[in-house]
Structure 1
């Protein structure tokens, strides 16, 4: 950690290398704080401290899962501000895990802000109660989409909620040389279609694993035959590799697909996108990366956050990922390819708007950061508005 004598800012989210989308959020969030307070000392609460230390050598890193309340309290006592988010962390049976630390911070008079969080599904009584208590006492609340605001309002939160955009819209691409693709077995001089899959689970409880594997296999075979394409499966989590194999296992032209296995940074995956001719995907941040690269893409919504992204970008989106949409899905893939230039040319303006909204999250945090010099800033809706000694 580089020695700095400015305010100490903690960042709490689903960080630690398990998901490239979450890591993209962390990169953008930290860059924003550094821009506004270059002297800030940053502490990341990580689910895998070793990974976070490797990827962010200039921050302090602490574990928070399985850590006692007293040990976490010692870390919180050394902070001047706690940032919750971003990313989809406030949902049933998971929100309480983050909010326990938030409530402990607020008990100490530590100001808390939410940073473009994703919310929902949120119906569990315990989680809803903790959300109301913790976020009502936060300095300000920003969420990344309209679905998240609605989920908070339905949970009973009554304080102002600002809708911004996912912080990953501010990520900067890193070079991704074609030689990296060739080393992964992707052939030269082919039309490349990026594919993103995900696992069923609490964030995608209604996803039928075998059904969507077969559906995407049909899409893959169609693209191979229709445009002589080669498929590049892009895992955003390590378990996506298994589900990519599941799709390939149902494809007639399975030899026309490769799964990336390299350990890539979020900026590198964003840098990969311009090498693709089109993208079809489920993972939210894979689709955000495609939009930033201005390549044609088709979202496969499994949750409201993907619908919301498609709506805000003006991208097509079918309702659900199941065998009943097989015909319309193939027709939409065909249409996107034929009309890719005229359909996606206007999207650049919408992407720029979302980038500006993502910057709005950082702008909302800026006054708090500038007021921090070892004391809590005055104002806001949070608790504790007087000086706080380190």
Structure 2
């Protein structure tokens, strides 16, 4: 899920900054920004809409609160947003989002966007509406050629969420395995970590200047994978990622959507913008049939059904997995059931007690060690410690682990109880059967083809149901392992469609 979106740029007019609002401007220095530097950030998907309004902002930009903001700030996202061309605007024309008022990054926080003077000036130096792409070369208005190569990848990267990091690792590994040798640059919330973990060049995803510069030199803009285009938690995910799609189109990049889990999309403007953007993309590969059906219902016919990019990761190293487990006190001959919880809406109080009950059941009825794994320590770590405190036999692996380490640990397990989607995917890649708790349609969409009975909706969750379903998984584990292995093999084949689409555009 998406949090902490944002962009930054220079040259904005003076304004006020509010600590905690995520917006800083000249004279405010709330986040250490120098004068003339504008920045806005979405701090958290669950935070209330609190933001500063720049001094002198036109009344139509004083957008009302609420993440959907289907008012003035989003008007250009609907029928009035221009799909072609960028007009430059004279400096001082007014505080308005976009290049020349055309909203290259449409968003509902219009008052927190960049000055037209800054964006127009940037565009004047780097972009002209008469420019085009000839092969792998950008041709400017005067006919001068500027070589472009490489991929710029945009996703929920650098937030220490192992699911999205698995997607990125799969993307990188898939490209290298296919012989792709040009550069891959990642838009990341933590560029230093992304460089260390994945060996890729990375730029701050909140820096418009860096993003724009890199787009101008990249041949292909890759959006995905993951559940980026959805508005369940808030509209910010749609706004950020489709805004980046729009900016990449202004930069005349080729555009590919890969490994996408589309939806749910509840807002009309979000569906409309998604449909328009999907039609503009050079390739669209989704990770499940449900996403394809949603796009097709929106009038998008050119959609390939692939699979999640995490299935392109290399095989797990069980020897390394057992070393990690032994470090936490698990013996190599122990039978292990992994539990990967997370909180879900409406279940804040019950989640811990449900997993405590399930952990005790795993210990007593299955004679297994219950190992608790966080996919995002900052969000799941406290919950895991609370669960483990009531189940003395449980092992809580509460420390930052890499994607490969979690994959290796899951490969050593007999079964997995997972709420986190990518825990289920990484387990499936090693043929490990699972009980899936579906807090989001994407969980059911993934695990239902294996065994519909082993997907439990959060609305139906209680101690008895979970224990009964885990007992079934445990009794059928050998048969299920064969079924899961076959399913994962098919997913791996489908995941390669993402890479095929990219290579076709990046060559």
Count of residue pairs the alignment pairs up: 354
Task: Specify the alignment match of 2:422 in structure 1.
Answer: 285
Match of 1:345, SS? Answer: helix
**Bigger radius of gyration among the two:** 2
Task: Specify the alignment match of 1:219 in structure 2.
Answer: 358
Match of 1:101, SS? Answer: helix
The answer to which structure, 1 or 2, has the higher relative contact order (CA under 8 A, 6+ apart) is 1
CA 157–104 in structure 1, closer or farther in 2 if over 3 Å, else same = farther
* Match of residue 329, structure 2, among 185, 188, 192: 185
**C-alpha distance in 1 between matches for 2:224 and 2:364:** 43
Match of 1:90, SS? Answer: coil
Asked if the contact 2:174/2:312 (under 8 Å) is kept, the reply is: no
* Match of residue 125, structure 1, among 265, 268, 275: 268
* Match of residue 497, structure 2, among 338, 360, 382: 360
Task: Specify the alignment match of 1:378 in structure 2.
Answer: none
**C-alpha distance in 1 between matches for 2:162 and 2:321:** 19
1:243-322 equivalence runs, <5 A = 243-249=383-389, 251=390, 254-314=391-451, 316-322=453-459
The TM-score with structure 1 as length reference comes to 0.84
**C-alpha distance in 1 between matches for 2:414 and 2:363:** 13
CA 295–315 in structure 1, closer or farther in 2 if over 3 Å, else same = farther
Deviations, residues 23-57 of structure 1 (Å, cap 9, x unaligned): 11111111222344533111111111121121133
**C-alpha distance in 1 between matches for 2:321 and 2:226:** 29
**C-alpha distance in 2 between matches for 1:78 and 1:208:** 46
Asked if the contact 1:169/1:358 (under 8 Å) is kept, the reply is: yes
Question: Are 1:54 and 2:196 an aligned pair?
Answer: yes
**C-alpha distance in 2 between matches for 1:35 and 1:324:** 41
Task: Specify the alignment match of 2:338 in structure 1.
Answer: 194
Task: Specify the alignment match of 1:166 in structure 2.
Answer: 308
Match of 1:87, SS? Answer: coil
Q: CA deviation at 1:157?
A: 4.5
**Most deviating of 178-187 and 295-304:** 178-187
CA 324–297 in structure 1, closer or farther in 2 if over 3 Å, else same = closer
**Most deviating of 80-89 and 359-368:** 359-368
**Most deviating of 19-28 and 157-166:** 157-166
Structure 1's unaligned 5+ residue stretches are 201-205, 371-390
Root-mean-square deviation over aligned CA pairs: 2.2
Structure holding more helix per residue: 1
Task: Specify the alignment match of 1:64 in structure 2.
Answer: 205
**C-alpha distance in 1 between matches for 2:275 and 2:443:** 25
**C-alpha distance in 1 between matches for 2:497 and 2:254:** 19
* Match of residue 113, structure 1, among 256, 260, 277: 256
Structure 2's unaligned 5+ residue stretches are 1-146
Task: Specify the alignment match of 1:89 in structure 2.
Answer: 228
Task: Specify the alignment match of 2:375 in structure 1.
Answer: 236
**C-alpha distance in 1 between matches for 2:329 and 2:148:** 48
Deviations, residues 276-325 of structure 1 (Å, cap 9, x unaligned): 22211111111112112122321111111111111223363344125654
CA 217–6 in structure 1, closer or farther in 2 if over 3 Å, else same = same
Asked if the contact 1:84/1:114 (under 8 Å) is kept, the reply is: yes
